[in-house]
Amino acid sequence: MEFDGEFELDGVPPEKAWIVLSDPMAVRDSLKGCQYITPMDDDFNFDEYEAEEDVEMLPEADPEVVADRAFVAGQKYAALMQVGVGSVKPRFETTVTIDERDDEEFEMIASGGGDASGSSFSMNSGMKIHELEDGEGSRIEWWTEADISGRIAQLGSRVINPVSNKIVNNFFGSIEQQMTDVDEETNTGVTDRLRNML
């Protein structure tokens, strides 16, 4: 299945949008059903890992902490997602690798997949942030190719599409809110520092 789309953020320049989209914690908070996103190694155990609580988020967070946890190209991340689709509510143990990150072009490509009882998926995703013509806003373009198998796939696209659309819309809605927060409440110094660190 293929999903793609774009959305615009008036008044949020690409640099700031990039900072938020580079923060696993911001992404986690925006993905409905996502319990954590964390760097993983080969010994990672989904059952034993306990998600960090009370994480500081932008704009209040210490820029160094945020920069430290930002997505790194080549790194593999573990994510635990629980999604309700129709009559099933699988808990997906997902691994995602950031394949490419381009800080200049604001482009990121990731691939991964997840398994839940009786369902599994694999995906390739990407996003790129463009500057709006007025120079003050961003247009974020995204795409995903996903292969879905098992119980969820059996429900068919008429059940899956509304769910995925809802997740995506919630995600960008929430991201937009966080970006706006960052834009409004963070002084230029913090974002510049962050940007340099990234």
Partner 1 sequence: MSSDSDFTTEPKEYQHDDDGGPQPEKHCGHGRGGMGEEVARKEDKRFITGRGNYVDDIKKPGMLHCEIVRSPHAHARVENIDGSRAMDLDGVVAVLTADDLLEHDLATMPTLMDDTQDVLVNEKVKFQSQEVAAVIAEDRYTAKDGAEKVKVDYEVLDPVVDAAEALEDDAPLIREELDDQEDNHIFDWDTGDKEATEEAFAEADVTVTEQMEYQRLHPAPIETCGAVADWDPGNDKMTVHMTSQAPHAHRTLFSQVSGIPEHKVRIVSPDVGGGFGNKVPIYPGYVVAAAASYVLERPVKWIEERSENIQTTGFARDYDMTGEIAATEDGVIQGVKVDVLANHGAYNAAAQPSKFPAGFFNIFTGSYDIEAAYGSLTGVFTNTAPGGVAYRCSFRVTEAVYLIERMVKVLADELGVDPAEIRRRNFIPSDAFPYESATGWNYDSGDYEKALDKALEMADYESYREEQKRRIEEDADKLLGIGISSFTEIVGAGPGKQCDIAGIEMFDSADLRVNPTGNAVLRVGVQTQGQGHETTFAQIVAEELGMDVDNIVVEHGDTDTEPYGLGTYGSRSTPVAGAAAAVAARKVRDKAKSIAANELEAAEEDIQWDRQSGEFHVAGAPDRSITITEIAAGAYMNHPGSEEPGLEATNYYDPPEMTYPFGSYIVVVEVDRETGEVDFEKFVAVDDCGNRINPMIIEGQIHGGLAQGIGTAMLEHVTYDDNGNVTGGDFMNYLLPTANEIPNFETGHTVTPSPHHPIGAKGVGESPTVGSPPAIVNAVVDAMSHAGVTHVEMPMTPDRVWESLNEAGLALDPSQNVSFDFEGGQSEGPADD
Name the residues that contact partner 1, by CB under 8 A. 47, 86-87, 115, 117-120, 122, 147-151, 153-156
Query: How far lies 18's CA from each of 8, 51, 173, in Å?
Result: 13, 24, 16
Q: Minimum CB separation from partner 1 for residue 122, in Å?
A: 7
Q: Minimum CB separation from partner 1 for residue 145, in Å?
A: 12
Between 22 and 120, CB nearer to partner 1: 120
Q: Minimum CB separation from partner 1 for residue 37, in Å?
A: 20
Between 144 and 170, CB nearer to partner 1: 144
Structure tokens at 9: 């953020």
My answer on whether omega of the bond before 90 falls inside 30° of 0, hence cis, is no
Between 43 and 47, CB nearer to partner 1: 47
Q: Minimum CB separation from partner 1 for residue 47, in Å?
A: 7
Q: Minimum CB separation from partner 1 for residue 86, in Å?
A: 8
Between 47 and 133, CB nearer to partner 1: 47
Euclidean distance between CA atoms 181 and 96, whole angstroms: 27
Question: For residues 10 and 186, is the Cβ–Cβ distance under 8 A?
Answer: no
Between 18 and 121, CB nearer to partner 1: 121
